[in-house]
Chains A and B, each alone.
Chain A
Amino acid sequence: GAVVSQHPSRVICKSGTSVKIECRSLDFQATTMFWYRQFPKQSLMLMATSNEGSKATYEQGVEKDKFLINHASLTLSTLTVTSAHPEDSSFYICSARDASGEQYFGPGTRLTVT
């Protein structure tokens, strides 16, 4: 099946710093990628839909100035958590949608803000 990678898999940063997470579709082109967040023992919550070459669409309650999304190519979307705080500590998962509409998930990035 299709492969989606995320980098880094785990990151620890200090409060106030920014962290960039990359999501790549390795063997297919993805015009649409999604960014989800999962807190412990909770469901995946959609943060934003990332569209290649255009602005991301954010879900209600997600600050677009805090979570910057760039989808510069058909195989790469990045999420930057700006001025991270401990409450941003979470499991961030991206998914990429292929031409048939099937979604493939990345392995996730575990962010810990100290």
Chain B
Amino acid sequence: RKEVEQDPGPFNVPEGATVAFNCTYSNSASQSFFWYRQDCRKEPKLLMSVYSSGNEDGRFTAQLNRASQYISLLIRDSKLSDSATYLCVVNKKGRRALTFGSGTRLQVQP
């Protein structure tokens, strides 16, 4: 079983739509959680950290459910520029490196 699992997509949505991505992680010792965005042939860039209380950054909302080991990302009012692959990333306690999911591809269409 992969440490971090994501639906690969692609999610094809029209501009203005709301889209949600889910992610599950297997290691209960995980302590830090992130969503990264990766454009084609580019390095991943941090989109936002994810906290148990939930957090919002503009059109983006992230949620963490530690009991279910589940992380979500909600994007409201999708823009064409949101088209990318969204990576669910976990950091295990005592380990400095990050563990990446394989990503969910989003394509926002005009």
Contacts and interface: CB of A to CB of B under 8 A. Distances in A.
Interface stretch (A60-68, A69-77, A80-88, A104-112): A104-112
Name the interface size band of chain A: 20 to 34
A42 B87 CA distance: 11
Given A32-B96, A97-B96, A43 B45 contact: no
Contacts of A105: 43-45
Interface residues of B, number: 16
Nearest to A105: B43
Contacts of B97: 34, 46, 49
A101 B102 CA distance: 23
B100 interface: yes
Nearest to B87: A43
Which secondary structure characterizes the binding site on chain A?
Answer: strand
Which of B98, B99, B101 has the most A CB atoms < 10 Å from its CB? B98
A21 interface: no
A107 B43 contact: yes
Contacts of A44: 44, 87, 98, 100
Contacts of B99: 46
18 contacts: A34-B96, A34-B97, A36-B100, A42-B102, A43-B101, A43-B102, A43-B103, A44-B87, A44-B100, A46-B97, A97-B96, A101-B96, A103-B98, A105-B43, A105-B44, A107-B43, A108-B42, A108-B43
